[in-house]
Amino acid sequence: MTQDFSIVHLLLNASWVVQAVVLLLMGVSITSWTAIFRKLISLKRVHALNDEFEREFWSGTSLNELFASAAKNAKLSGPMERIFASGMREYQKLRERRINDSSALMDGARRAMRASYQREMDAIESNLSLLASVGSVSPYVGLFGTVWGIMHAFTGLAGMQQVTLAKVAPGIAEALVATAIGLFAAIPAVLAYNRFSRDIDRVSIKLETFIEEFSNILQRNVSATTLAH
């Protein structure tokens, strides 16, 4: 009679350690895929909001109007708009205190934007460490299940006088399932981590470029105000 080598049958007849490893890896895989889909949606939203604000910023709208709009829609704004709002808010506070020193004004605005930039990047990079951990650890967890399963299979054969391939194969096959599921969990996590890292690097460069461009605009405004007085 032919033996059933389906994955479900192999797992049902595997040792409890292998079953525990497989359940753990399946849970990790589900968590990883959930994080991947959430990150895809969040990065798509970040790109869309940044592009929308950048178009509005360079459309000729006054800084005061942009700041009023950013303050009104703070919960729905994107990272670039929030960085702009933090720099503009600090700039206006310093101007209200009658501080006219250009270096003090610019340093204050830059510090505020840098602090906001760091908060935004921390939020954007969330769950990346999870994907990195899944990608690096899952194959070893699966390998542990495989090693244990093979040890269990050979231990069960120790008392037999005649060992054939038909008797060894089921135990080894069920053990190798753990490695396969470990790779199934790790490969998408590694690919997603690399993809998201590249996307986040592009977002970071774009935000840093905006900070420098907006700082130059504020610097020109400060210089123009100083000359007017």
Render pLDDT for 147-180 as a digit per residue (tens, 0 to 9): 887 887 777 666 665 655 556 666 677 778 888 8
The span from the CA of 196 to the CA of 43, in Å, is 8
Query: Does the pLDDT value for residue 10 go beyond 90?
Result: no
The SS3 assignment for 110 reads helix
Average pLDDT over residues 46-55: 94
% of the chain residues with pLDDT over 90: 52
Q: What's the chain's average pLDDT?
A: 85
Of the ranges 34-43, 56-65, 138-147, the best mean pLDDT one: 34-43
Render pLDDT for 68-77 as a digit per residue (tens, 0 to 9): 998 888 788 9
Average pLDDT over residues 209-225: 86
The span from the CA of 132 to the CA of 226, in Å, is 51
pLDDT of residue 1: 43
Cα-Cα-Cα-Cα dihedral of 124, 127, 133, 139, to 10°?
-110
